């Protein structure tokens, strides 16, 4: 593990339209002590070719190619190669400001934190506009308690793996599981393991919304089932850590009732998913 080195893990899959912007934003960082690990997850467009071209431009770029296994397996493969003292994740259709690494690193070091959480903004391609959530007057750095961070997870905030800087040692026994909402459980485990947190309120990371992105796809049976599974696992994690799990249970109950009504409206009460939802509701009532 190289001191001060930041490992940037970028999973890549069929993003030829956006990949150059992502990679250029990384190469333009004001903090220079980094390695970039590109994991091509079986792309069949020009993404792999673009990765190869960039790997020849800078010796700090490593390229790994694998058969399509999904973003979780790609991130795990990148983590296995990471040599940095710190690690950050950037999605290949997103991009970051030139001081993304520098501001997160400085905040983490200055506050002796384990995780630096950066703020973000959206690029809505369909609407053709950027969406910002914080006025510049609110920009700054502040410490967060573990309880504050875990409460944000329950509120469906701070749940994305991207846009944050982590001490690499936190991942010794933590990995990404496959499926939708793969970040949710993993991030809760990291937050439980970490002792100190710092929040950088600055628009450092841009999430791109486009018709092919995960966030734009309609709710599916698999997404419903995966969210229930991820929340079940979070309940176990909270119980093992002896934390108050009521907020997690309340969140689960909200989604169960929402999904129950959606399936009722569609007349899908004989599906395995509906039965799974009703079993959960029966248990919670008990």
**Residue 172: CB atoms within 10 Å:** 8
| Helix 19-27 vs helix 47-55: crossing angle, to nearest 10 | 20
Burial of 36 (0-12, 13-18, 19+ CB in 10 A): buried
DSSP, residue by residue, 85-124? EEEEE--TT-EE-TTHHHHHHHHHHHTT-SEEEEEEEEEE
pLDDT attached to residue 232: 86
CA dihedral 104, 78, 217, 231 (to 10 degrees): -80
> What residue has token string 């150059």?
20
Burial of 261 (0-12, 13-18, 19+ CB in 10 A): exposed
Distance CA 156, CA 163 (A): 15
Closest of 204, 199, 203 to residue 142, by C-alpha: 199
pLDDT attached to residue 233: 83
pLDDT attached to residue 138: 73
DSSP, residue by residue, 194-211? ---EEEEEEEEEEEEE-T
**Residue 42: CB atoms within 10 Å:** 16
Distance CA 95, CA 275 (A): 41
User: How far from 145 is each of 105, 116, 248, CA to CA, in Å?
Assistant: 19, 12, 18
pLDDT attached to residue 217: 45
Distance CA 98, CA 213 (A): 24
CA atoms within 13 A on the CB side of 285: 8
Domains of the chain: 2-215 (3.90.550.10), 218-285 (no CATH)
- Mean pLDDT per 10-residue section of the chain, whose length is 286 residues: 92 96 97 97 96 95 94 94 97 96 97 94 78 74 90 77 95 85 81 94 87 53 83 84 82 87 90 91 79
pLDDT attached to residue 137: 67
């Amino acid at each position: 593990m190289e001191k001060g080195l930041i490992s940037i893990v970028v999973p890549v899959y069929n993003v030829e339209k956006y990949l150059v912007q992502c990679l250029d934003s990384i190469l333009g960082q004001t903090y220079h002590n980094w390695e970039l690990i590109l994991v091509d997850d079986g792309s069949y467009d020009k993404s792999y070719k673009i990765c190869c071209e960039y790997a020849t431009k800078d010796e700090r770029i490593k390229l790994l190619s694998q058969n399509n296994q999904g973003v979780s397996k790609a991130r795990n493969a990148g983590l296995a190669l990471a040599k940095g003292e710190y690690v950050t994740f950037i999605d290949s259709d997103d991009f970051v400001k030139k001081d993304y690494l520098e501001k997160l690193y400085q905040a983490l070091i200055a506050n002796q934190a384990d995780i630096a959480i950066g703020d973000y903004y959206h690029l809505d391609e369909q609407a053709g506009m950027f969406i910002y959530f914080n006025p510049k007057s609110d920009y700054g750095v502040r410490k967060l308690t573990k309880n504050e961070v875990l409460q944000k997870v329950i509120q469906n905030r701070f749940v994305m793996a991207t846009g944050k800087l982590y001490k690499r040692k936190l991942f010794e026994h933590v990995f990404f599981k496959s499926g939708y909402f793969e970040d949710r459980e993993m991030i809760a485990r990291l937050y439980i393991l970490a002792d100190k947190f710092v929040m950088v309120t600055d628009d450092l990371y841009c999430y791109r919304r486009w018709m092919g992105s995960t966030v734009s796809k309609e709710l599916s049976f698999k997404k419903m089932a995966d969210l229930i599974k991820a929340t079940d696992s979070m309940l176990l994690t909270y119980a093992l850590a002896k934390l108050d799990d009521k907020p997690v249970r309340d969140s689960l109950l909200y989604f169960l009732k929402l999904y129950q009504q959606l399936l009722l409206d569609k007349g899908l009460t004989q599906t395995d998913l509906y039965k799974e939802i009703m079993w959960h509701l029966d248990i919670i009532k008990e």
